[in-house]
Amino acid sequence: MRTRPLKVVLLGCGVVGSEVARIMTTHADDLTQRIGAPVELAGVAVRRPSKVREGIDPSLITTDATALLKRGDIDIAIEVIGGIEPARTLITTAFEHGISVVSANKALLAQDGAALHAAAEQHGRDLYYEAAVAGAIPLVRPMRESLAGDKINRVMGIVNGTTNFILDKMDSTGAGYQEALDEATALGYAEADPTADVEGYDAAAKAAILAGIAFHTRVRLDDVYREGMTEVSAADFASAKRMGCTIKLLAILERAADGESVTARVHPAMIPLSHPLASVREAYNAVFVEAEAAGRLMFYGPGAGGAPTASAVLGDLVAVARNKLAEATGPGESAYTQLPVSPMGDVVTRYHISLDVADKPGVLAQVATTFAEHGVSIDTVRQQGKDGEASLVVVTHRAADAALSGTVEALRKLDTVRGVASIMRVEGE
Ligand code: NDP
Ligand code: HSE
């Protein structure tokens, strides 16, 4: 057992960072045994130094994160500031000063993961980020390491706790969108700017990270098709219920059947109530990974919140500390397949389309013809009429997204179609 401590700095001490500090203190003896050396919290960089931070020695607090990293005696930096800057510069500075990094920052990893991995490799240091995807759930390491000998073909799951919390409340209690978002924010689930959650950017960042790991290729945030959940209405939930479904914001990553390309997308989707993802409540996340030899694996657990996320950060801290003592580093980026990311138009799935139409003879035939002309086959149609107007709900068989978009464009041009009330993909059947 080494007695000289490994020195750790916390960059950020908010919802996640404060829990990391608390666990580092309360579990210090166990961490020492598991690592083989004590870990000492040597500094905490924040934005507002005067804020009271329970359980943290005030002498450790600084606003000068860069100076902390340049001290010359730091072994590991934990970045839990979030966002692009100053996090990116600080992580790079850490590597340049021989410091390994644990980060929970999915936005940064999705945007600049390749450069950060390259910097880590160049300086012979670790970059671990289990907490960046799906909170407490061990997912990044199992995919990066345990499944490294298998071939992952598909990943589908709920990877944003805030939006799952909101959708669950809307569905189960009839709560309004804003009320549910406020509750999720108060519970520490939402990002500093919750637009990142509700517009799907956070889930898209996680999708990019997972796709890169799953398919050993580079997938950036811009490669991920993204739709948020702000347009999901009570009417959509009612429609979903009639079909025996609920609505979830899903991340879906697929390797094409010929293995030559991949797709990555995030959008709300109807899923059958019988599907395991339908019963994922509150801020929980769940991810299915389909691998050639392993078959279907499901990862489930708390997807957000201070303590659950800190658990993942601490797991990484132990791994990186062990590597440091062994004078080794963990796995770096694996992007050797260089597969292209296909556009959303190539994705094949089913659709639920809700139309407001004139309630008169021939409308149904006109609508059906439009679907047929674009090669989209209809599975079911439900019509409800009232005072000369009607709502028409069409559920299709599997079709390419580009064909569906063409159909909707043509439907909008029909005189008898007053509007397209909603379009939702149907998954998990
Ligand atoms: P918070 O906003 O609660 O905390 C951010 C921390 O960073 C604060 O302590 C803040 O200081 C500090 N900070 C901000 N700017 C600077 C700066 N320029 N220099 C030094 N410190 C700074 O965020 P969270 O803890 O919720 O999230 C942190 C990271 O973890 C993000 O990347 C997030 O995406 C990720 N994450 C969050 C989860 C969650 O459930 N909350 C779950 C999984 C990942 P001050 O306290 O003075 O304001
Ligand atoms: N805002 C994120 C979420 C935090 O709600 O999932 C966890 O990454």
Q: What is the pLDDT of residue 238?
A: 92
Does 360 have pLDDT greater than 90? Answer: no
Nearest ligand 1 atom to alpha carbon 283: 40
Whole-angstrom CA distances from 404 to 105, 261, 346, 372, 428 are 35, 21, 11, 11, 19
Nearest ligand 1 atom to alpha carbon 82: 32
Q: What is the pLDDT of residue 388?
A: 77
190 neighbors 165 (Cβ within 8 angstroms): no
Tell me which residues are annotated as active site.
206
Beta pairing class for 152-158 and 245-255: antiparallel
Number of domains in the chain: 3
Task: Classify 174 in phi/psi space as left (phi over 0), alpha (psi -120 to 50) or beta.
Answer: left
Cite the beta strand spans of 28-110 per DSSP E.
Answer: 39-45, 61-62, 76-79, 100-103
In a shared domain, residues 406 and 320 = no
Q: Tell me the per-residue pLDDT of 31-58, one tens digit each, with 9 for 90 and over.
A: 999 999 999 999 999 999 999 999 999 9
- % of residues, the chain, pLDDT over 90: 97
Which CATH number is 81's domain given?
A: 3.40.50.720
Closest CA to 242 of 383, 397, 144: 383
Q: What is the pLDDT of residue 182?
A: 95
Instruction: Tell me how far apart the terminal alpha carbons of the chain are, to the nearest angstrom.
Output: 53
Nearest ligand 2 atom to alpha carbon 196: 1
Neighbours of 325 (CB within 10 A): 13
Give the structural domain span for 293: 140-302
User: How many Cα atoms within 13 Å fall on the side-chain side of residue 98?
Assistant: 10
107 neighbors 196 (Cβ within 8 angstroms): yes
Q: Tell me the per-residue pLDDT of 52-77, one tens digit each, with 9 for 90 and over.
A: 999 999 999 999 999 999 999 999 99
Residues in contact with ligand 1 by the CB-under-6-Å rule are: 12-17, 45-48, 51, 65, 80-82, 86, 104-106, 131, 135, 188-189, 191-192, 304-305, 309
Residue 10: which H helix or E strand, with range? strand 6-11
Q: Tell me the per-residue pLDDT of 237-273, one tens digit each, with 9 for 90 and over.
A: 999 999 999 999 999 999 999 999 999 999 999 999 9
Q: What is the pLDDT of residue 371?
A: 98
336 domain residue, yes or no: no
Does 117 have pLDDT greater than 80? Answer: yes
Nearest ligand 2 atom to alpha carbon 104: 8
Neighbours of 274 (CB within 10 A): 11
Mutational test site, ligand 1, from 105, 112, 282, 309, max ligand atoms within 8 Å of CB = 309
What is the mean pLDDT of the segment spanning 220-241? 95
Residues in contact with ligand 2 by the CB-under-6-Å rule are: 135, 160-162, 189-191, 197, 202, 303-304
* Cα gap 218→208, rounded to integer Å: 8
Is residue 301 helix, strand or coil? strand
What is the mean pLDDT of the segment spanning 384-394? 84
In a shared domain, residues 163 and 125 = no
pLDDT tier at 389 (50, 70, 90 boundaries)?
confident
Nearest CA to ligand 1 atom 38: 304
Does 366 have pLDDT greater than 90? Answer: yes
Q: What is the pLDDT of residue 56?
A: 96
219 domain residue, yes or no: yes
Closest CA to 127 of 309, 330, 295: 330
Q: Tell me the per-residue pLDDT of 185-207, one tens digit each, with 9 for 90 and over.
A: 999 999 999 999 999 999 999 99
Which CATH number is 370's domain given?
A: 3.30.70.260
Q: Spell out the SS3 assignment of 217-270.
A: CCCCHHHCEECCCCCCCHHHHHHHHHCCEEEEEEEEEEECCCCCCEEEEEEEEE
In a shared domain, residues 293 and 191 = yes
In a shared domain, residues 155 and 284 = yes
Q: What is the pLDDT of residue 384?
A: 81
Does 393 have pLDDT greater than 80? Answer: yes
In a shared domain, residues 155 and 298 = yes
In a shared domain, residues 144 and 128 = no
Please give the structure tokens belonging to residue 148: 């490294």
pLDDT tier at 226 (50, 70, 90 boundaries)?
very high
Share the mean pLDDT of the chain: 96
Mutational test site, ligand 2, from 158, 189, 309, max ligand atoms within 8 Å of CB = 189
Residue with tokens 């078959």: 295
Does 385 have pLDDT greater than 80? Answer: no
What is the mean pLDDT of the segment spanning 224-241? 94
Q: What are phi and psi of 29, to 5 degrees?
A: -65, -45
Q: Tell me the per-residue pLDDT of 403-420, one tens digit each, with 9 for 90 and over.
A: 999 999 999 999 999 999
pLDDT tier at 382 (50, 70, 90 boundaries)?
very high
Q: Tell me the per-residue pLDDT of 19-28, one tens digit each, with 9 for 90 and over.
A: 999 999 999 9
Ligand with minimal distance to 66 CA? 1
In a shared domain, residues 282 and 393 = no
Ligand with minimal distance to 104 CA? 1
* Cα gap 115→206, rounded to integer Å: 17
155 neighbors 257 (Cβ within 8 angstroms): no
In a shared domain, residues 247 and 266 = yes
Q: What is the pLDDT of residue 429?
A: 79
330 neighbors 319 (Cβ within 8 angstroms): yes
77 neighbors 11 (Cβ within 8 angstroms): yes
What is the mean pLDDT of the segment spanning 160-173? 97
164 CA distance to ligand 2 centroid (A)? 10
Name the β-bridge partners of 262: 255, 341
Nearest CA to ligand 2 atom 4: 304
Q: What is the pLDDT of residue 279?
A: 97
Does 97 have pLDDT greater than 80? Answer: yes
